[in-house]
Amino acid sequence: MRLALICIALAEALVFPAHAHTGVGPVNSFSSGVAHPFSGADHLIAMTMVGLWSVFTDRRAVVAWPATFVAAMLGGFAAASLGLQIAFVEQAICLSVVLLGVLVALRVRARVTLGAAIVALFAFFHGHAHGTEAATANLIHYAAGFTFATSALLAVGIGAGFCVRSSAETLLLRAAGGCAVVVGLSLLGG
């Protein structure tokens, strides 16, 4: 059953548009903010991988890394909303999918502080992409919406991680990480 759910989730991720950041509908309301992270494989996979990775590292990481992701994402959103221009944001986001997939597939354990720094860097770029496209009229509503959706995706990753903690299911974890790497590389390749 779990394998079927993972396969369905990955199949859905593969049929979404590669990039969720340019010209995908309105970005001026809570509902558009909630919908946004579900509109691209890059968001879905990166946030889910952060949740998965945290479960296999340290109990403190399960709280610290998702909280760090949300905080840094909002920082990136604020920076972009205030006009900070950064080159290669899309490439950094795609690279985050690849690297998070590698970390999950290899079950890399990191110190909580190092993992938080890695997660924060990736989240800043995700947030910057949100802020670059946001309409100035309803920034708070839009930010609240994508923060809610991001938190939900992080929770899905944590929940999935707790479901596949036994050694018999480690192959599923490695497969999910490997699939993230493949999708991330395809996104990088355009």
Most confident of 70-84, 124-138, 152-166: 70-84
Instruction: Show me where the domains of the chain are located.
Output: 2-7+40-189
Q: Tokens for 162, please give them.
A: 């707790």
Most confident of 11-20, 64-73, 129-138, 172-181: 64-73
pTM summary value: 0.85
pLDDT score at 20 = 43
Whole-number percent of the chain with pLDDT over 90: 51
Per-residue pLDDT band for 135 (boundaries 50, 70, 90) equals low
Segment 155-183, tens digit of pLDDT? 999 998 888 766 556 777 888 888 899 99
How many CB atoms lie under 10 A from the CB of residue 137? 10
Give the separation between CA 158 and CA 167, rounded to whole angstroms: 17
Per-residue pLDDT band for 36 (boundaries 50, 70, 90) equals confident
What angle do helix axes 2-15 and 170-189 make, rounded to 10 degrees? 0
| Residue 38 DSSP code | G
Segment 3-30, tens digit of pLDDT? 444 544 554 455 444 444 444 556 678 8
CB of 135 closer than 8 Å to CB of 81:
no
Helix intervals (H) in 56-88: 59-81
pLDDT score at 37 = 85
Element (H, E) at 11: helix 2-15
